[in-house]
Amino acid sequence: MGRGYIVEALVEQYLVNLQTVHASCISGILIGQCSSQRDYVVLAAQTPQKDCGAVRGCSLGDLDADWVTEHGRQVSRMLPGGLSVLGVFLITSPDLSKEAQNTLRKLVYAMEKLISMGRLWNLTEEDVSERVGLHICSKTKKAVCRTFDVRDPKSSARPADWKYQSGVSDSWPVLKCSVDLDLYFPLSETSSENLENSVKIGLQKWAKQMESSVCLINGKHSDSDAELLTGCLCRPPQMSSALGEQRSSAAAEACGGSLTLAGVLQCRAYLHSHKLKARQAIKRDIMNTLSSRTEMFFEDLLINEGDGKMASQQPLPQRVFAPLPGTSLSLCDYMFPDEGAAEVGERFKEMLDFDIPEEQIDMTQEVITGKFLCVRKSPTVYASYS
């Protein structure tokens, strides 16, 4: 028996509206949450236009796989804990049904590979590794849903059940926390040309510590998530890293400088039921938001500075939140110092294909703390223990 997909009714209306567009192929992504037996789809978003002024959609043969998967990667940055890109949809004419299934398979594997490259964590044996490919016939409106095991590139497509339901996420609890960071990365003599790589290595070490850290929800630690989450909205969990017991025998190492990431992260995770691993969801959001910001920071540095050089102290993008229309969920975006609500609203429209009034964009979460996340670089030579 294949997986089941419980899909928000608003997604059905969205997909129906897309079918009125006169194009032979329309692509997009599906967003939601996995569980052991079934997945929950809360949002669908079509692939943005590659060229301004171009007509939405294209022929299947002209579909740009890199563009579609890049869309999935960027949207994955906008998702809080508990939500992820579940797969891809294609809307085509009846004569392209068979070809569409082959295309969906390629897109599902390519998108998962690209998204996973930016993660600081790996899928565990308990994680669901099936991703969905949905094909909709533009004439008959028939939907064919199949899943692919992204752990096995040779796996066969499996049929899945696709059902619409109203208010899918209405009762989902939310966990919130703020994390005060002060991360210190030693840099080698040659790292002025490779700051990004040095930060990635440092973040990977930090992520391992985060995964093994102790997470308190409502000030309590329990082996049973069911006892913590049943019928309530969780208060901010407290993160305390259990690093005191770890010891290293590494020798001192001369370095050419250091880089510090310091500030406060605002994090949250949504849970479809008490059975989901609550601590894992919030920890992954902490890791994801820091990884996304550092990636965006270095991308922006390369574009705007040309040679990739940075000042002694520069701010990282600030996390902002906005409600997902028709649901109880909020999604996020990242705002650079020279941006405002207008730019954030434009990205929501481009990436997720819905309008959000500027006054509904919450830009205060990380302002309230008074500590913005920033990166500081020191040229001082020193000795560091690794």
For position 219, what pLDDT does the model report?
76
Please give the backbone phi and psi of residue 208, each rounded to the nearest 5 degrees, phi first: -65, -40
For position 236, what pLDDT does the model report?
45
**From the CA atom positions of the chain, what is the Rg in Å?**
22
For position 348, what pLDDT does the model report?
98
* pLDDT > 90 fraction of the chain, expressed in percent and rounded: 58
Mean pLDDT computed over 28-36: 95
For position 306, what pLDDT does the model report?
58
Name which of 16-20, 60-64, 136-140, 366-370 the model is least confident about.
366-370
For residues 290 and 384, the model is more confident at 290
Please give the backbone phi and psi of residue 198, each rounded to the nearest 5 degrees, phi first: -65, -40
For position 115, what pLDDT does the model report?
98
Domains of the chain, each with CATH number or no CATH = 4-165 (3.40.140.10), 174-385 (no CATH)
What three-state secondary structure class fits 192? helix
pTM (2 decimals)?
A: 0.89
For residues 380 and 244, the model is more confident at 380
Please check the confidence at residue 127 and state whether its pLDDT lies above 60: yes
Name which of 265-269, 277-281, 290-294 the model is least confident about.
277-281
What are the angstrom distances between the C-alpha of 146 and each of 3, 57, 136, 168, 244? 9, 22, 12, 21, 47
Mean pLDDT, the chain, as a whole number? 85
Residues recorded for the chain? 386
For position 244, what pLDDT does the model report?
41
Q: Which residues of 120-155 are buried (b: 16+ CB within 10 A; e: fewer)?
A: bbeeeeeebbbbbbbbbbbeeeebbbbbbbbeeeee
Contact present, 257 and 70 (Cβ < 8 Å): no
What are the angstrom distances between the C-alpha of 209 and each of 82, 135, 334? 20, 41, 25
Six-digit token string for 156: 């066969």
For residues 45 and 139, the model is more confident at 45
Six-digit token string for 308: 């990739």
CB-count burial class (<10 Å; 0-12, 13-18, 19+) for 168 = buried
Residue-wise pLDDT for 171-192, tens only, equals 898 999 999 999 988 877 544 4
> The tokens 């190492």 sit on which residue?
253
> The tokens 């930060």 sit on which residue?
199
Mean pLDDT computed over 124-145: 94
What are the DSSP calls for 269-328, one per residue?
Answer: EE-SSTTS-HHHHHHHHHHHHHHHHHHHHHHHHHHHHSS----SEEEPPEEEEEE-TTSS
Q: Specify the DSSP element, H or E, that contains 209.
A: helix 195-211
**How many Cα neighbours within 13 Å face the side chain of 370?**
0
Query: What type of residue is 175?
Result: L
Q: What one-character DSSP code corresponds to residue 220?
A: B
For position 352, what pLDDT does the model report?
98
Confidence at 60, pLDDT banded by 50, 70, 90: confident
- Report the candidate in 270, 272, 273 with the shortest Cα–Cα distance to residue 82: 270
Q: How far apart are CA 371 and CA 265, in angstroms?
A: 9
Please check the confidence at residue 59 and state whether its pLDDT lies above 90: no
Q: Specify the DSSP element, H or E, that contains 377.
A: strand 374-378
Q: In what order do the strands lie in the sheet with 313-315?
A: 174-187, 257-270, 374-378, 313-315
Residue-wise pLDDT for 219-250, tens only, equals 777 665 554 554 444 444 444 444 444 555 55
CA 106 vs. chain centroid, Å, equals: 20
Q: Residue 189 region, left (φ>0) first, then alpha (ψ -120 to 50), else beta? A: alpha
Mean pLDDT computed over 38-46: 97
